[in-house]
Structure 1
């Protein structure tokens, strides 16, 4: 698998609809009535934090030239939020060893996605590390709070229904335009061109 293919597993075009699908299936498969709402809150607040960090940099240049930091890596943060929870949901009805292994894979996949962001020069190491900390904290808190909830096992047709949209999105590879949207909002808010990484790093010289 190429770095470009791997990095798409953290793209908003894939993860935003997947996050909503997770909530719908939680309402069906998880015993806790508040679990879907807790997930939507976790998912939403994490995405909001990422967006705010990007916005304040693009609008006012609030970042760190020393650490080459312009905001949380969205791919890394949201993949670390979504994948552990998705695999927890999918395997909750299986044996404990399988369940724990899949959740562990859910935590490891975002690390690889974060590495892909650095390799592709989309983010700095500091932005990826910050994204991992934020995303893993969000998913871990959600999983800890819902550790006593029972999850019903999925049948193959049910798995197909849950995964069909993510698989279609993976096959198309179409990328989200959230970064461009935030950039335009920042320019409208300030009336000036958005800040860039090059401009931030120029402060070191």
Structure 2
């Protein structure tokens, strides 16, 4: 999704500053998310009082990508840009909530992941308002809507969690990684 939005932005508008800012912020947010996960898995660095073991990658990516994508695809004649952006953040919020509902993340992990991703998209969107890209062709919007509809049903798991686990094992030189249950057992006595 990010690559699609970035490609359209690159092709459709002469202003590269918002695109580069967004990609830099998106990369920085992804790196921060990775660091928090590896720090916990490899060394047990979390916050027990907040039930925090690392930023939610789903929440971060959704908040970083969907508002930008919605703004990029919105026709100002049909949907005011601010409402498209609100819709993008609303979709990101639903995705974030789903992570708590299925027990994949705690509320703090989701809220902080959403905040980091939301900051990345907000900065890019503030820069972008000076030079909005033209609306993509209808076939692109229809194709994207179809992909968004089918993706949750047919997409295979990405395997990124396994990659993060392997990285944490390699960096920490541990055979067994820390888990959420360990976070609550690591509380200092007293």
Q: When the two structures are superposed, what TM-score results if normalisation uses the length of structure 1?
A: 0.82
Gaps of 5+ in 2: none
What is aligned with 1:201?
184
1:122 aligns with 2:104: yes
Tell which deviates more after alignment, 97-106 or 137-146.
Answer: 97-106
Q: Does 1:133 align with 2:120?
A: no
**Alpha-carbon distance in 2 for matches of 1:145, 1:156:** 25
State the SS of the aligned residue for 2:185.
helix
Deviation of the 1:162 alpha carbon: 5.5
State the superposition RMSD in angstroms. Answer: 2.1
> Counterpart of 1:8?
none
CA deviations 1:148-181 (Å, max 9, x no partner) are: 0132122212434666665664442312111111
Alignment length, in residue pairs? 187
- Check whether the contact 1:76–1:131 (CA below 8 A) recurs between aligned residues: yes
The separation in 2 between residues aligned to 1:114 and 1:170, in whole angstroms, is 14
Which SS does the other structure have where 2:80 is aligned? helix
> 1:164-203 counterparts in 2 under 5 A?
169-192=151-174, 193-203=176-186
Do 1:77 and 1:135's aligned partners in 2 also have CA atoms closer than 8 Å? Answer: yes
Is the 8 Å Cα contact of residues 53 and 71 (structure 1) preserved in structure 2? Answer: yes
Q: Does 1:74 align with 2:57?
A: yes
2: CA distance between counterparts of 1:49 and 1:79? 15
TM-score (norm 2): 0.88
User: 1:24: how far off?
Assistant: 0.7
